Amino acid sequence: METQVIIVGAGPVGLTLAIDLGRRGIACVLVEQKAEPQFLPKMERCNARTMEIFRRLGLADRIRAAGMPDDVPMDVQIIRSMTEPPILRLPYPSVAQARTLTRECRDGGLPLEPYQLISQYTLEPLLLEVAEQSPTVTVMRSTTFMEFTGQDDGVLVMLNDVDGVRRTLKGAYLVGCDGGASRVRKQLGIRLAGEGDIARLRQGLFYCEQLYERLPISNGPSRGRHYLVVGGPPTFMIMQDSTRHWTVHSAVESDDEMRRMFERIVDVALPYEMLYCAEWRQNLLLAERYGEGRVFLAGDAVHLVIPTGGLGMNTGVGDATDLAWKLAATLQGWGGPGLLASYEAERRQIGERVVGASRYASLGYRAWLAEVRPEIGDDTPAGSAARAHLVEVANVQQRKSNEMIGAELGYRYVDSPIIDNVPGGPQHDLRAYVPTTWPGARLPHMWLRDGSAIQDRLRPDRYTLIDVAGGHDAGPLLTAFKVLGAPLDVLVAQDCALRAVYERDLVLVRPDMHVAWRGDRLPQAADDLAARVVGHDNLNNAFGSISHR
């Protein structure tokens, strides 16, 4: 059996990659060891950048319909139990409220799509169904990846099916999206470096039909998504997308202790069922490399982070969307040799920043947790003082976990071989997002005069030159792209508000919505610019590559 791309691992990252490749007409086989997605609590929030990516795949509305209702608040609260007033409540808008803010925003400072709370056990089956409906995607369930052998023109992959029958599959490229224990990564001999086994907690998944409807209980916490519990071992509870399932993470030693912890948090007699409980370890690890030759790695196979900050799966989706268009361009014949080489150059630096951001968020949580005093629950002056002190500290430190919009939207690729690497650039800020079209950055969302979003006007299978001043002659660049066989659109969007945010008359955007180049006029060597952004050193080298193909 032969295909173009073999993907190992049908988690959200592998599924996103398969769907994206399928949308681009690339034949791929997705290999998954499990027969069906598991009902396990893993990720629970798609951040704004991920939802923008899913919008470009035509999936955002479907994901929102399956996830948390849009009127549910996203508040974070520090509590002792559900029957006591919260010690600190950090309010965050519901999806509906966030969408209203986006509709009113005209300065590029907000994403086109807000976050969406959706549990992985809801998201995975949805993405799997989409993948299986794609005519160019083949999903092989109950199939175990064993090993691969590299060849000059592709990769041979050995598989075992559920009956123990060994199969051989050949693809032009192999992508390991097979998690932290990645077999693909291990065969490549690539190490994970950093801080491993930092801490161990138990995770329990509970079903409690009445809890959400009963909030607030006896003047206890209001509705929200995260409840950080004090007055015992480090514990936090997360509302899942159904509002009937709850995940508890706690430094307890047994399943029975986990049940008692849930009962202690709820603090009233409500019927419930514990559906799952297991230990997990906190890690901050990054792969030394993101692949080798025709084999690439993405998601948890290359970066493992503490869930604090919610960056793990979302970064993996970013890996997938970066790799998808580069694989497609190469297989379609117009991508230069530098295009796939840029995957590691671009995404590993993001993985490194995300590991740092996760560490920053986790240290914020630990900082205020260390300030919890034994008398914090007492109805005494000392108890009041302890609560006031905790509020003062946590109001600063806990926000480090919940306010990471800069890490989500503001990352940009530095020293990439396929962008115009202008020296300098804005600082990388984890907490704040300042819209910019500096090369390497995500194109800021802006509304056009006709009410459409500029991101929706950029087709995902091609580059787009945005002319925000009007009247520029794009002919030389169009010609250069045509010579290379690479797709380029020109979008004239003459708008003073757009020009004020984008800062240049012309902005060249890649298929993944990252800026490749900007300027007030095209460079004289437009052909060299075109060659570089599609993965060639220069046009002469491109001609050699094209004639060779």
Whether 443 is covered by a domain: the verdict is yes
Q: Which residue has the tokens 């690339």?
A: 26
Q: How high is the pLDDT of residue 17?
A: 98
Q: How high is the pLDDT of residue 548?
A: 42
Task: Give yes or no: residues 340 and 436 share one domain.
Answer: no
Last residue of a domain, one of 303, 333, 350: 350
Tokens of 436: 């910019």
Distance of CA 324 to the CA centre of its chain: 14
Q: DSSP character for 271?
A: -
Whether 63 is covered by a domain: the verdict is yes
Task: List, for residues 162-179, the tens digit of each pLDDT value.
Answer: 888 899 999 999 999 999
Task: Give yes or no: residues 324 and 426 share one domain.
Answer: no
Task: Give yes or no: residues 338 and 423 share one domain.
Answer: no
| Dihedral angle computed from the Cα positions of residues 248, 251, 254 and 259, in that order, rounded to the nearest 10 degrees | -30
Q: How high is the pLDDT of residue 308?
A: 87
Distant-in-sequence, close-in-space partners of 101: CB < 8 Å, separation ≥ 6: 93, 110
Task: Give yes or no: residues 333 and 423 share one domain.
Answer: no
Task: Give yes or no: residues 150 and 294 share one domain.
Answer: yes
Whether 519 is covered by a domain: the verdict is yes
CATH no. for residue 532? 3.40.30.120
Task: Give yes or no: residues 60 and 163 share one domain.
Answer: yes
Distant-in-sequence, close-in-space partners of 139: CB < 8 Å, separation ≥ 6: 10, 18, 29, 30, 32, 128, 131, 132
Q: How far apart are CA 321 and CA 136, in angstroms?
A: 17
Q: How far apart are CA 31 and CA 15, in angstroms?
A: 10
Whether 81 is covered by a domain: the verdict is no
Task: Give yes or no: residues 330 and 423 share one domain.
Answer: no
Whether 128 is covered by a domain: the verdict is yes
Whether 85 is covered by a domain: the verdict is no
CA-CA-CA-CA torsion sign (295, 463, 537, 409): negative
> What is the domain extent for residue 54?
2-68+116-194+288-350
Task: Give yes or no: residues 541 and 442 share one domain.
Answer: yes
Whether 91 is covered by a domain: the verdict is no
Task: Give yes or no: residues 124 and 14 share one domain.
Answer: yes
Task: Kindly report whether the peptide bond that precedes residue 216 is cis, defined as omega within 30 degrees of 0.
Answer: yes
Task: Give yes or no: residues 345 and 426 share one domain.
Answer: no
Q: How far apart are CA 251 and CA 258, in angstroms?
A: 9
pLDDT tens sequence for the chain (549 residues) = 799 999 999 999 999 999 999 999 999 999 999 999 999 888 889 999 999 999 999 999 999 999 999 999 999 999 999 999 999 999 999 999 999 999 999 999 999 999 999 999 999 999 999 999 999 999 999 999 999 999 999 999 999 998 888 999 999 999 999 999 999 999 999 999 999 999 999 999 999 999 999 999 888 999 999 999 999 999 999 999 999 999 999 999 999 999 999 999 999 999 999 999 999 999 999 999 999 999 999 999 999 999 988 899 999 999 999 999 999 999 999 999 999 999 999 999 999 999 999 999 999 999 999 999 999 999 999 999 999 999 999 999 999 999 999 999 999 999 999 999 999 999 999 999 999 999 999 999 999 999 999 999 999 999 999 999 988 999 999 999 999 999 999 999 988 899 999 999 999 999 999 999 999 999 999 999 999 999 998 656 665 554 444
Q: How far apart are CA 256 and CA 254, in angstroms?
A: 5
Query: pTM of this prediction?
Result: 0.96
Distant-in-sequence, close-in-space partners of 524: CB < 8 Å, separation ≥ 6: none
Amino acid at 530: A
Task: Give yes or no: residues 166 and 26 share one domain.
Answer: yes
Question: In degrees, to the nearest 5, what angle opens at C-alpha 255 toward C-alphas 254 and 256?
Answer: 90
Task: Give yes or no: residues 432 and 327 share one domain.
Answer: no
Distant-in-sequence, close-in-space partners of 36: CB < 8 Å, separation ≥ 6: 125, 141
Amino acid at 187: Q
Whether 503 is covered by a domain: the verdict is yes
Number of domains in the chain: 2
Last residue of a domain, one of 350, 380, 401: 350
User: Please, are residues 101 and 93 in contact by the beta-carbon 8 Å criterion?
Assistant: yes
CATH no. for residue 332? 3.50.50.60
User: Please, are residues 324 and 20 in contact by the beta-carbon 8 Å criterion?
Assistant: yes
Last residue of a domain, one of 304, 333, 350: 350
